[in-house]
Homo-oligomer: A and B are copies of this chain.
Amino acid sequence: MSPLDKYPRPSVTVDLVIFTIADDDLKVLLIRRGGEPFKGCWALPGGFVELGESLEAAAARELSEEAGVTNVYLEQLYTFGDPGRDPRGRVISVSYFALVDADRQHIRAASDAADARWHSVFDTKTGGKLAFDHKRILDYAVWRLRNKIEWTTVGYELLPKKFTLSELQRVYEIILQKPVDKRNFRKKVLAQGRIRELSETRSDVAHRPARLYSFRKK
């Protein structure tokens, strides 16, 4: 008898914290639960890991099913497994966080007609009554995003292919929830050498048109 049969097996799910920037705010995709437990509550999208499917593949599948997006930034966050976190039984959740850029966020609601909506992360009402321990997962994801944006280029993943430096700066301000100095920001970003200046500008505005840039993946 294999030891695999000697031990009780928990259920394993992946839960996703899917961020995007919209309406000048950091949003997270939540789904209203149709059944018990936590019926009617908002929850992070997620689902069971299938046999023969890697954890990352399960996360990507949920991302596609629930948010209708593929090929976005996706990173494992943390694994939550306290007994009692799901009243139905032992469920271990491997959480991921994803960043959806402005180009693709409209493809959402590809979801199975469920009530899926973007919620402001900073709206205290959002966190108030999330299902399970999803508030904790969300808080951790925000913390990680805030740290990571300071020393990596994940911030670019939230923008469309072509963007202005002001738009990029705004992403930082929204996530960090504090103003950023324009000149220092531009200096730092350009010095990094990870964006290419395009010849185009964002026209049709009632002021000087801004230069467009694109991100070069490494």
CB interface residues, A 59-95, toward B, < 8 Å:
76, 78-83, 88-92, 94
Distance A10 CA – B7 CA, assembled complex (angstroms): 11
Query: Given A79-B76, A81-B94, is A7 in contact with B50 using a C-beta cutoff of 8 Å?
Result: yes
Interface residues on A, range: 20 to 34
Is there contact, CB below 8 Å, between A54 and B76?
Answer: no
The reply to whether the CB of A8 lies closer than 8 angstroms to some CB of chain B is: yes
Known contacts A4-B91, A88-B2, A89-B2; is-contact A49 B10 (Cβ 8 Å)? yes
User: Are B94 and A82 in contact, CB atoms less than 8 angstroms apart?
Assistant: no
Is A55 positioned at the interface, with any CB of B under 8 Å from its CB? yes
Partner of A55, one of B7, B89, B92: B92
Q: Which residues of chain A have a CB within 8 Å of any CB of chain B?
A: 2-4, 6-12, 48-55, 76, 78-83, 88-92, 94
